[in-house]
Amino acid sequence: MTQPNIVLIVADNLGWGELGCYGGGALRGAPTPRIDAFAEEGVLLQNFNVESDCVPTRSALMTGRHPIRTGSLQSVPPGLPQGLTRWELTLAQLLSAQGYATAHFGKWHLGDIEGRYPSDRGFDEWYGIPRTTDESQFTSSVGYDSSVADLPYIMEGKAGQRSRQVKLYDLESRRTIDEELVAKSNEFMNRHVQAKKPFFLYLPLVHLHFPTLPHRDFAGRTGNGDFADSMAEMDHRVGQVVDEVSRLGISDNTLLIFCSDNGPEFRAPFRGTAGPWRGTYHTAMEGSLRVPFIARWPGRIDPGRVSNEIVHVTDIFTTLARLAGASIPTDRPIDGVDQADFLFKNESKSAREGFIFYIKQEMRALKWRDWKLHFYWEPEVNEGKGKLESPYLFNLTRDPKEETDILVFNTWVLGPMLRMVKAFNDSVESFPNVKPGAKDPK
């Protein structure tokens, strides 16, 4: 089979309940017709799971490893060691070695020092922000002092060259960045279709991360405020990429994925929703873990599929690497499993039954089949009880809001779940975790 093109679009903090195809759309003040139509052409996952925050999810996606293993636990101030050490192997590196052209257009958040930019980590080229979107507020903040806090910039770079600052990342460029990212993405695809070279396009959009501000062309479009206008813009931007894939005549040989990196925003006035699930990102609730995931590949993925099977963000690494013909590293634990049969051969069952879930250094919860076990309890951000003397157990099918602990009636579930914990702890003993803030190997 000819190596397929891979387009991976990742929204930022898009909750499970925002899109029309997930029960939101017009109910959230912004119909999402382009993404809804895209979902009908492929598979929609109802149980795709991510990490608690931007950095750990992106780390898991790029390495196939739980963030506790890589030391990529949460973002830190500019210029300090953060993200991935150069010992980690990225998905882009594996695909590049298989002859793929690789590009990153969007939010990186896995290292903002020389040697850790996208163009240092397997991407031929990149354009976007090295850290996060809330920095666009810096220059508008009362008392901001650029002599002690770095000015935020949109940057760009190419493999083998130093990345450079392009322009200030302020509230106005926050409004226009997704338009730029999509334009660069479409130009990249066009260029490599002409060159007859397979490509991996990683497009981590900025919407809907706060401050959730739409492009001026979309401001006031819905009549329901900036958040809804931004969702309408995001739907349009995804549609632009889908249209370009069609225009280039490469749909049948292109795997196109759209997903989110985290659960919904919780900050007013940019409050998001996880639909039937409780909680937001920065917690271990289902509203944090479950996010949208849609994949389309005509001829390989049956249209109109909907599945509640468990898939984890680490699986993207393993599945895409093997799809491209790359070998999975054997000198370190890889937590992602190959979901090719489930996704591309339309098997009914996922290749995984569950996963562990950390926030920073603490194992907060784990999922297995329809069960969820919490070791800490924090149903809302910054409103936690801390570690529980006895864990809480929920059946997510019968209790999607995680309201009634039923451990005392279902202690049998502890057997398979705690074996998962032991297996993970044993692997850490054999392969110690990278410490947060670790320096790059020499």
Which positions are annotated as active-site residues? 54, 109
User: What is the full DSSP assignment across 5-71?
Assistant: EEEEEEESS--TTSSGGGT-GGGGT---HHHHHHHHTSEEEEEEE--SSHHHHHHHHHHSS-HHHHT
SS3 200: strand
Nearest to 313 by CA among 374, 262, 353, 251: 262
Specify the DSSP class assigned to residue 345. S
Identity at 49, one-letter amino acid code: N
CA torsion sign, 19 to 356 to 386 to 431?
negative
Identity at 258, one-letter amino acid code: F
- Work out the widest C-alpha separation in the chain, in whole angstroms: 62
Q: C-alpha distances in angstroms, 95 versus 157, 200, 433?
A: 19, 7, 25
